Structure 1
Amino acid sequence: MPDVQTAAPLITNDIVVFGLIAATLGAIFWAASGPTPFLQRFFKVVPALLLCYFIPAIYNTTGLIDGINTPLYNPVARDVLLPAALVLLTLSIDLKGIFGLGPKLLIVFAAGTLGVMLGAVVSFLLFDWLHPVTVEGDTWAGMAALAGSWIGGGANMVAAREVFEVDATTFGQFAVVDVAVASLWMAVLLYLAGRSEELDARSGVDTRALDELKAKAAAYEAQHARIPSLTDLMVIVGTGFGIVALAHALGGVIAAWFAANVSWAAQFSLTSSFVWVVVLSTTMGLLLSFTRARRLEGAGASKIGSLLLYFLIACIGMQMDLLALLDRPWLFALGVVWMSVHIICLLIAMKLTRVPLFYFAIGSQGNIGAAASAPVVAAAFHPSLAPVGVLLGTLGYATGTYLAYVTGLILKTLAGQ
């Protein structure tokens, strides 16, 4: 396999690279908005997220840029944009509202989360027996990153990637597995949404609680939505990056304390200042969700968080070796087995709680798709239910990094490392 970085890249100015990446993301999202019938059909098949990974990867693979050695990823994207995205994606969480939606919804959602964690272990053990090459090396670390995505979202995936120091190529391979398997499952859920009334009637479940959910969701949306002012945007940006600064200031001190006083801290990455930056950023975002700062979501806090996240994703894509993505097709089979365990856990929870199909679908997408696609699936059942998808999706964001860390430690042990 040729080393595409043996020669100097065509573009060596990091500011030009920054502009290229920003323009690329702008073009992708403009095209994904569907200005022509062809693009509408194209993006129904090819998710915009996949292009955000792969177009920058093409730049790197062809030698247009050097995505590995540019400072755009580290420290800019990793150390600044990632924690800021975590803050802005978690400060909007309405935990009281989520608990008010009823215990059955949360039970199904928790079953989906358990299914992702259990699926990681089951698929690892199965392929360790069936096809050991599939899970050799740092595959366990890539799986930990994917667990972050399937419990929370892209920010959690990236956070887990940094915590476990996943190789860029391995991360890219699991990013492909993520998009391919999750997109296929989302298509199945959207199909089931169109038959939900028929299926619920056939199963004889009580849908009165679902009707109440629709009313609550509509009220929440009407209460918080507004056109953002310049002051709103300044406060959102100031809050996100201000907390990033605080997290970095405290993270280094905490990591140093653990290194000096706790003998086993390094084994659990507690001596890494970056781990503490991620934990502190997520925790502070959660604490803000109990204050008036949560109202910033109505002005687009999560949208700005997503903007930072997509730039981060593009910077990760810049480090990928696309040719290496063809080396491990068995990873797709591993992803299918993993997702199957998740689905089985959801079906068991749905059967035990006797809930409508909506609970099953949103319990899954609240994990697998998080706030990015959970509202889409929720809206497929009823437009007013989209905010419910946001609520569960943001709950996934809140727990994704923590639980991916736990999953990663389990997989690391299974891998004998």
Structure 2
Amino acid sequence: MITDGFSYLALLMMIAASIVYTEKKTRYNKLFEYLPSIVIIYFVIMLLSTFGIWEKTEEITAAYKALKSNLLPAMIFLMLLSADMREIRKLGKKMILTFLLAAVSISLGFIGMYALFHTAFGPESWKPFAALSGSWMGGTGNMVAIQGALHLPDSDMGYALLIDSIDYAVWVMVLLALVPFAKRFNRWSGADTSIIDEVGRKLAQKEERRETMDFVSLFLLLAAALFLSALSQFLADFMPTTDFLTHTTWVVIIATVAGILLAMTPLASLGGASALGNMMLYLIVALIASRANFAELAQAPLYIAAGFVIIAIHALIMVIFAKLFKLDLFSLGVASLANIGGVASAPILASAYSRALIPIGVLMAMMGYILGTFGGLAVGKVLKMIVQQ
């Protein structure tokens, strides 16, 4: 049994790195088309935690808290360096509107589901749903950010990740299955796809110049991220706090705003921000999983069912929006998956329509990183109000 902090952190890092290597370099990578590596990391480490491979000693708890609280704002900052608002403007008004409509419909899905069924869950159940809403309007990084902001217990994060994995996988299959019906759907909605085709062509022709990853770039980005983390925590000390706007919430907000602003500076052109951000994300997810336990997932089927209700409400609202605003199936599907699936899956659906449209999927997913944390916190506020009624 592991009792010291360094061995605990080293084991978590080794497990996470081994799973990522397996995904990228071995013949088992077909498995990861259905189960993303980040989900496998969570459940493998959660399984080891259940078997008591490490003990929650004071040293391990101190290492866990110090690393998680300091890496979180650094990770948020690095992941947002890729979300340049000037690039996102190239999507055009209609596609940006479609993305925002998808985000709004997902929010309404969470609120509608919780208003109907919140009595079936515990009084603190609004927190994992708020974290999940951050993921479904952005990505796993947003979910982890909200978990920190709301002080969601690590044991309850298992519910959010379970829904995020199972319900999301089913929704991806549904959206891919609908691709052959695009023309028929577009005739029904009255959509004009000429603008999308033109934007996709221009984005494909103009590849974004990215500098290669090197030692200096990585070193500078790591230093900037850690400095920003320390600065965010320092500035948060001077911010007014409430029951909802806690010190940690302010840290998350400051890091998010800093990432958005600095994404429009030369710092964003340095290669390696995404790689470093993902390493931090995987380690944070591993840390969260290390405090969870399979015995605590007794309500898992109920949460999974709730996730499908959220998606059903979202899909219904999007179909209504499509008829009202004459939206095409490509825009609807990619906007939905850019929210629920993020940058890893939106381009896959875009490529199912045309490889020239892949950049649109990427840019829509980048918008999710920007909005996910703020949107999830707002949904969490509404869900908390529903419980308190």
Same fold (TM > 0.5):
yes
| Partner of residue 106, structure 2 | 116
User: Shift of the alpha carbon at 1:241?
Assistant: 1.6
Map of 1:229-244 to 2, 5 A cutoff? 229-244=214-229
| Partner of residue 242, structure 2 | 266
Map of 1:213-252 to 2, 5 A cutoff? 213-220=199-206, 222-252=207-237
Q: Deviations over 1:235-256 (max 9, x none)?
A: 22122222112112211122xx
Map of 1:358-369 to 2, 5 A cutoff? 358-369=330-341
Distance 2:169 2:39 in 1: 10
The 3-state SS of whatever aligns with 1:267 is coil
- Answer yes or no: is 1:89 the counterpart of 2:49: no
Distance 1:59 1:216 in 2: 49
The 3-state SS of whatever aligns with 1:371 is coil
| Partner of residue 137, structure 1 | 123
User: Shift of the alpha carbon at 1:195?
Assistant: 5.3
- Answer yes or no: is 1:405 the counterpart of 2:377: yes
Distance 1:154 1:196, change over 3 A: same
- Answer yes or no: is 1:11 the counterpart of 2:2: yes
Distance 1:57 1:387, change over 3 A: same
Q: 2:174 aligns with which of 161, 176, 188?
A: 188
Distance 1:155 1:223 in 2: 24
Opposite residue 319 of structure 2, the aligned amino acid is L
Distance 2:365 2:62 in 1: 31
- Residue pair 1:89, 1:394 contacting (<8 A) in 2 also: no
User: Shift of the alpha carbon at 1:97?
Assistant: 2.5
The 3-state SS of whatever aligns with 2:238 is helix
| Partner of residue 52, structure 2 | 63
| Partner of residue 211, structure 1 | 197
- Residue pair 1:172, 1:320 contacting (<8 A) in 2 also: yes
Distance 2:88 2:184 in 1: 27
- Residue pair 1:160, 1:405 contacting (<8 A) in 2 also: yes
| Partner of residue 104, structure 1 | 94
Q: 2:354 aligns with which of 382, 387, 390?
A: 382
User: Shift of the alpha carbon at 1:336?
Assistant: 0.7
| Partner of residue 20, structure 1 | 11
Distance 1:184 1:391 in 2: 23
Distance 1:186 1:153 in 2: 15
User: Shift of the alpha carbon at 1:147?
Assistant: 0.9
User: Shift of the alpha carbon at 1:190?
Assistant: 2.4
Distance 1:66 1:209 in 2: 58
Q: 1:176 aligns with which of 151, 154, 162?
A: 162
Q: Deviations over 1:80-117 (max 9, x none)?
A: 22111111111222222322321111111111111121
Opposite residue 108 of structure 1, the aligned amino acid is T
User: Shift of the alpha carbon at 1:371?
Assistant: 2.1
- Residue pair 1:114, 1:345 contacting (<8 A) in 2 also: no
Distance 1:287 1:318 in 2: 34
- Answer yes or no: is 1:348 the counterpart of 2:320: yes
User: Shift of the alpha carbon at 1:349?
Assistant: 2.2
Q: 1:160 aligns with which of 119, 125, 146?
A: 146
Distance 1:201 1:306 in 2: 41
- Answer yes or no: is 1:35 the counterpart of 2:26: yes
Map of 1:296-307 to 2, 5 A cutoff? 296=270, 299-307=271-279
Distance 1:66 1:358 in 2: 49
User: Shift of the alpha carbon at 1:173?
Assistant: 1.4
- Residue pair 1:104, 1:353 contacting (<8 A) in 2 also: no
Distance 1:163 1:40, change over 3 A: closer
User: Shift of the alpha carbon at 1:274?
Assistant: 1.5
Distance 2:63 2:178 in 1: 42
Distance 1:97 1:349, change over 3 A: farther
| Partner of residue 261, structure 1 | none
Most deviating of 144-153 and 45-54: 45-54
| Partner of residue 287, structure 1 | 261
| Partner of residue 50, structure 1 | 39
Of all paired residues, the percent bearing the same amino acid is 29
Q: Deviations over 1:281-323 (max 9, x none)?
A: 0001111122222323xx2312321221111111111111112
Distance 1:351 1:203 in 2: 5
Computed over aligned residues only, the root mean square deviation of the Cα atoms, in angstroms, reads 2.1
Opposite residue 159 of structure 2, the aligned amino acid is Q
Distance 1:414 1:141 in 2: 12
- Residue pair 1:194, 1:380 contacting (<8 A) in 2 also: no
Q: Deviations over 1:58-90 (max 9, x none)?
A: 11110001368533431212x222111111111
Opposite residue 112 of structure 1, the aligned amino acid is A
Distance 1:312 1:116 in 2: 26
